[in-house]
Homo-oligomer: A and B are copies of this chain.
């Protein structure tokens, strides 16, 4: 029918995600995306759209991979406290390893883009909601205030991401995790 695409869509989306995750929207140039994906500018525009559309693709991919990973983690067997502790420990681990400065694309997008882009705001709110519901489900049977507590846990989680990016002492994140977990039992 027509000429087939030569690139692996998943790999390209992953590359887009990594660049925006590390540098943010404004600090990322189309050339950065060209370098990271291996595609030329025209191909990127042809396949996905303009820079904003590429950002949305990256955001969606982050949701479907990293966020989903977290949600899956929360859904498994075992006590809620352990699962949620793991969530925080992944922040500490990322910070220790220097993985994108321990930051999270969802958090970055909330701060940089959500206030100036309705579509990003919608996407970010939906993802936060999904994550909250997963936390709520995890602790649901253990406390009567699951909805309130889950929101609080998401809040502390996002705060931990900011602390990591700020280069705050990791002990601060660990302490926050521990204090946060006391709210469950």
Q: Which residues of B contact A155 (CB under 8 A)?
A: 156, 159-160, 162-163, 172-173, 176
Among candidates B27, B114, B161, B183, residue contacting A179 with C-beta atoms closer than 8 Å: B183
List, in ascending order, chain B residues with CB within 8 A of A124's CB: 166-167
Distance A179 CA – B182 CA, assembled complex (angstroms): 10
Chain A interface size range: 35 or more
For residues 143 through 185 of chain A, which have their beta carbon under 8 Å from a beta carbon of chain B?
A: 148-149, 151-152, 154-163, 165-168, 171-173, 175-176, 178-180, 182-183
Query: Taking the complex as formed, is A86 at the interface, i.e. its CB lies under 8 A from any CB of chain B?
Result: no
Q: Which residues of B contact A163 (CB under 8 A)?
A: 110, 128, 154-155, 158
Interface string of A95-113 (1 = CB under 8 A from B): 0000011010001101110
Q: Is A64 part of the binding interface, using a Cβ–Cβ cutoff of 8 Å?
A: no
Interface residue A115 (Cβ < 8 Å from any Cβ of B): yes
The answer to whether A121 and B159 touch (CB under 8 A), given A111-B112, A152-B175, A154-B172, is no
A96 to chain B, nearest CB (A): 14
Please tell me if A140 contacts chain B, counting CB pairs below 8 Å. Answer: no
Interchain CA distance A100-B116 in the complex, whole Å: 10
> Quick one: given A172-B155, A179-B152, are A165 and B103 in contact (CB under 8 Å)?
no
